Amino acid sequence: MKRHALTVYALLVVGYLMLPIAVVILFSFNKPAGRFNYVWEEFTLDNWVHWNSILGIQDAIITSLEVGLLATLVATVLGTLIAIAIVRHQFVGRGTTNVLVFLPMSTPEIVLGASLLTLFLNTTAIFQLGFGTIFIAHVMFIVSFIVVTVKARLIGFDRHLEEAALDLGANEVTTFRKITLPLIAPAMLAAALLGFALSIDDFVITYFNAGATQTFPVFVWGIARVSVPPQVNVVASAIFLVAIALALGNVFWQYRSAKKTQGAT
């Protein structure tokens, strides 16, 4: 009985999490009567076919993807290096480093966004608001999440492997390439995915530092003032469905490799 109660509760919470998403996806197939997409009228695929018929939506989503990929890449490298230093090395300033990495996560987005804006506005000769400043901001707030994720994995791994490699005469770079990197690669991938998700979803920090450039969330904020066209639902649904597909692919791949290792033993 108790077991079932827990299952029911869990499924109810999942339902709650999925409800708005279901509404978003449903209304991406709606053919609204006027400019407002809130009453179900009739089913159509037009919005999906002509998803970019709203001026600015395509540029916005491209900007979002570009910023997301670039910022995630840079942040993953920077964050992984910090994580390795913290976990694998003893050095003066380790505590301070920990705090510095932790601080951006403990600062509300609005403060991060606002403080960066004051920097950019006060150093106008160097920084012009736009793609570059969005990129800088995203790397800054993603890095800490990367460090934390990679660090958690590194702590769990046996460092004797690395020591053994060093004892056997491999230099540090080789050891890193042959031992450490393969060990933490899954964690880096997970961290990168988290970073990409955070980047593509970010509104507040971007909103402060975007200037005239629009990412998808900034575009939505603007267009939502009067009406949200179904094309916005299409893009949001598409991002969601791609993410689901990637994750399902990952689940499948893990399942396959698990089977393979079973077969090998």
Partner 1 sequence: MNPRLTRQQLLRRGAAGATLLSLPSLLAACGGGGGGGDAGGGELKDVLNFSNWELYIDTAQTRKAAGLTGPTTLEQFTTESKIKVNYYEDVISNSEYFATVQGRLRQGQGVDRDIIVSTDNDRFLGEYLTNGWALKLDKDLIPNITNLIDAQASPPFDPNREYTLPWFSGMDGIAWNEELTGPITTVTQLLEDPKLNGKVGVWNSMGDTLGLVMLENGDDPAKVTDESFDRALAVIQKAQDAGQIRRFYGNDYAQPLATGDLAASMAWSGDILNLGDPKVKWGIAEKGGIIWTDNMLIPLGGSVPTASTYMNFVYDPTIAAQLSLGANYISSTKGVKDEASKLNPDASANTLAFPTDEMLSQMHQNDPAMFSNPDYEKRWLAVQGK
Partner 2 sequence: MGSFFHRHKGVTPYLLLAPGILWLAIFFLIPLAFLGYQSLQSGLFPDFQFTWEFSNFSNAIRDYHEQFARSFVYAGIATIACLVLAYPLVYWIAFRAGPWRNLFLLFIVAPFFVTYLVRTLAWLNILADEGPVVGVLRDLHVLGPDGRLLATTFAVVSGITYNFFPFMALPIYVSLEQIDPRLLEAAKDLYASSTQAFLRVTLPLSAPGIVAGTLLTFIPAAGDFINAALLGTPSQAMIGNVIQAKFLESLDYPSAASLSFLLMGSILVALLIYARIVGSERLTG
Site string for partner 2, 144-183 (x = CB under 8 A): x--xx--xx------------------xxxx---------
Window of 9-17, 21-29, 114-122, 154-162 that interacts with partner 1 by CB under 8 A: 114-122
Q: What values do phi and psi take at 43, rounded to 5?
A: -75, 135
Residue 221 engages partner 1 in binding (rule: CB under 8 A)? yes
CB contact at 8 A, 153 and 186: yes
Site string for partner 1, 126-165 (x = CB under 8 A): xxxxxxxx-x------------------------------
Residue 121 engages partner 1 in binding (rule: CB under 8 A)? yes
Contact partner at residue 45 from partner 1, partner 2, none, CB < 5 to 8 Å by partner kind: none
Complex with partner 1: residue 117 or 146, whichever CB lies closer:
117
Between the CA of residue 22 and those of 14, 54, 156, 233, 241, what are the distances in Å? 12, 23, 38, 11, 12
Site string for partner 1, 181-220 (x = CB under 8 A): -----------------------------xxxxx------
Residues 73-102 close enough to bind partner 2 by CB under 8 A: 77-79, 81-82, 84-85, 88-91, 97-102
Complex with partner 1: residue 48 or 221, whichever CB lies closer:
221
Tokens encoding 228: 């949200």
Residue numbers at the binding site for partner 1 (CB under 8 A) = 34-36, 38, 55-56, 117, 120-133, 135, 210-214, 221-227
